[in-house]
Structure 1
Amino acid sequence: MTYQNILIVKLSAIGDVIHALPVAPALKQCFPQTRLTWVVEPPAYDVLTNNPCIDEIIVFEKKRCKSLAGLYRYAPAFIRELRERRFDLALDLQGLFKSAAISWLSGAPERLVYCDAREHSDWIGKKICGPNLKGHIVERYLDVARALGCRAAEPEFIIKITAAEFAQAGAIAHQAGLDSKNPYVILMPGTNWPNKCWPADHFATLAGKLFASGLIPVFVGSAADQNAMQAIQGQSAVPLLDLTGKTSLKQLAALIKNARAVVAGDTGPMHLAAAIGTPVVALFGPTDPRRNGPCGPGHVVLTTSHACTGCWQRKCLKELECLVDISPALVYQSLVKMVG
């Protein structure tokens, strides 16, 4: 079986889109003449830009569909844009109602959905449960490509950072006081779940240890992480280089690419670092690193000692500070071994 036009539906979040990235080269190697289109929401759009395996990116503006009036105005043009491509296969890698609806509205006669489908999305596509059902999420997504006969032996992450994006990142860092020729470590205090966050005083202590050893601690994140950053600054005994809210996603990728290492919880930029190939010390509590850990060699995963680790609860039902028992000393020791 061959395909002329394949649609991938993986809308959000940033980490989830990064996990699905290896599906694109797997499909292109299997079906080199196929035109590959990816539907994504705006926050994760930059992950896909300039990817040679993706022929077209269609942005789904979910915010415009929050009311009936907005849906009425937005949906017809969006559906028409999908139908004009004449897809013969749609892969729903999101497994939610909204992604299933896009897969169905595309008009593709063949629709596959990956195994963890929810919200009855498997009613619209054929559910694919491969050999990695209990394995890493990257392998689960690749099992959908394998079900089509694609080999997909090793995950291949393609994230293209342009020379302009490297230059912009360098200028932002320089303005903040970072000489990128000096060795630095990226610290990411923000996550999208409260109980994925490492305590502010731990970040402050780690920053002091790094500063004393000649490694510059550089804090990054979105504008939403600035409150967490203020708490860290209030407890730090050393000056901190704060770039939270100051970079685009690709500019952040450029900074990560040139860093010696990254320290972060289970968050999109952590998975960005792993995909780029920068070594990561990943801090895990409520989520399971066997499913969501940094993909690839050279990383270290530190997990809280609580018996309830891997509970998959956004807020701790026991009111514990989930990651508090992962000490700054342990993280620092892991970094020293990592960077040599």
Structure 2
Amino acid sequence: MKPSLPKKPRHIAILRLSALGDVCNLVPTVRALQRHWPEARITWIIGKGEHSLLAGLSGVEFVVFDKATGLAGMRRIWRELADTRFDVLLHMQQAIRASLLSLGLKADVRVGFDKARAKDFQHWFTQRQIAPRQHPHVLESFMDFARLLGVTDDRLEWNLAIPETAFDEARALAGPAPYLVINPCSNARLRNFRNWSVEGYASVIEHAYRHHGLRSVLTGGGSAAEREMADAIEALCPPGSVVNAIGGTSLKGVLALIKRARAVIAPDTGPAHMGNALGTPTLGLYATTNPRRAAPYLWRDFAVDAYPEAVRTYLDKSVEEVSWGQRVRHADAMDLIKTDAVIAKLDALLAHTAAPSITGVSDES
């Protein structure tokens, strides 16, 4: 017999360790839970880097797991929470590492994804599942956990914490003038292939500078590959049109840069969803992943979508013939994104947001 869902939970656990974009997409679910049960405690078990992005999120107690610590790190968390029993555990990570971590947590009921979405046998580790849904966006998949518990007010609210020191960091890098944030690289993962071309980015930067008077600030981590790409982009750009901040900011500093930016351009990576969370106009570049599932939620209409062409070209199928989460793992797929298409979307995005106002986003987001 399945355990009952709590009518009025006093302590809710959220288990979602990664990644940066996903935790941004999860925050509206946290806010929905807080509105419905303002007295409930919420404990979020989260990854180390993701915590550095969301630290200070109001009303949330974080327990941080560093995946580099492996089983020892899990045992530390189990000891830390040994005397804690949750009314409900929302297991929102489809990965065996997170499921193993969940085994040492005490909860009256464990909620996970429906079987179709429960990767890595996650359904073996949960007792209740969210309702199946056809073709959901990632953000909607997370919100389905709150809906299962009876939450009906699913307005989108983020209200991320950005300290003044982060804004000082952003001002020192970008100055006062309007600018774009361009995060050219996604996380370096095996067969990830989400990065667009150096030449494409350089052409968009030149267009933004000459036609809109906008400099571009390049953001990203400090890996050798990211630095190399940023240097190559900068070398092709007009003098004064770009600020190379790769590896030069904290995650809170990136948030502050994005908050002050006129717009964000990025492939399928965390800063695209940071822009979405902050209400900053965001242009996503998609070919290897489906933007209907993973584009910045409030800016899906402005995503450059070469995914159907990539599916036809490299999988020899139509979008309707592949699974909802299917990725196109081909090194040339992002080359299907044409510079003219990106420039046209940027022009449309800037025109649409000349006086930015996005329905559904809290003024405090």
TM-score, normalised to structure 2, is: 0.82
- Match 2:175 to one of 173, 179, 192: 179
RMSD: 2.2
Q: Does 1:337 align with 2:351?
A: yes
Separation in 2, partners of 1:321, 1:77: 41
Correspondence 1:209-220 to 2 at 5 A: 209-213=207-211, 214-220=213-219
Cα shift at 1:129: 3.4
- 8 Å contact kept, 2:111–2:130: no
Which AA in structure 2 matches 1:316? H
Structure 2 counterparts to residues 186-265 of structure 1, below 5 A: 186-192=181-187, 194-213=192-211, 214-224=213-223, 225-239=226-240, 240-265=242-267
Percent identity over the alignment is 28
Measure the CA separation in 2 of the matches of 1:206 and 1:75: 45
- CA distance in structure 1 between the partners assigned to 2:195 and 2:218 by the alignment: 14
Residues of 2 paired with 1:136 and 1:75: CA distance?
30
Shift of 1:82: 2.0
Change (3 A) 1:122 1:131: closer
- Aligned pairs (5 A) from 1:45-124: 45-54=51-60, 56-65=61-70, 71=71, 73-115=72-114, 116-124=117-125
Assess if the C-alpha contact under 8 Å between 2:287 and 2:337 holds in 1.
no
Q: Which amino acid aligns with 1:82?
A: L
Amino acid corresponding to residue 182 of structure 2 in structure 1: L
Deviation at 1:91, TM superposition (A): 0.5
Letter in 2 for 1:200: V
**In the alignment, is residue 42 of structure 1 matched against residue 48 of structure 2?**
yes
Give 1:62's aligned amino acid. Answer: K
**Is residue 92–residue 142 contact of structure 2 (8 Å, CA) maintained in 1?**
yes
Q: CA deviation at 1:85?
A: 2.2
Corresponding position: 1:325 with 2:338: yes
Question: How many angstroms apart in 2 are the aligned matches of 1:326 and 1:235?
Answer: 15
* Farther off after superposition, 39-48 or 330-339: 330-339
Contact 1:11 1:39 in 2 (8 A): yes
**Aligned pairs (5 A) from 1:95-174:** 95-115=94-114, 116-130=117-131, 132-171=133-172, 173=173
Q: Which moved more, 1:32-41 or 1:126-135?
A: 126-135
Displacement of 1:291 in angstroms is 1.0
The whole-number CA distance in structure 2 between the counterparts of 1:332 and 1:279 is 10
Equivalent residue, structure 2, for 1:68: none
Three-state SS of the structure 1 residue aligned to 2:182 is strand
Q: Does structure 2 conserve the Cα–Cα contact (< 8 Å) formed by 1:11 and 1:44?
A: yes
SS in 1 for 2:33: helix
CA distance in 1 between counterparts of 2:133 and 2:253 reads 33
Once the two structures are superposed, what CA deviation does each residue of 1:184-217 show, in whole Å capped at 9, x if it has no partner? Answer: 1111111136532121001111111222231111
Q: Distance in 2 between matches of 1:74 and 1:217?
A: 40
Structure 2 unmatched ranges of 5 or more: 1-6, 313-318, 355-365
Aligned to 2:363: none
Number of paired residues? 326
Give yes or no for contact 1:41–1:60 (8 Å, CA) kept in 2: yes
Query: How far apart, in 2, do the equivalents of 1:85 and 1:117 lie?
Result: 26
Name the CA distance, whole Å, in 2 between partners of 1:206 and 1:221: 18
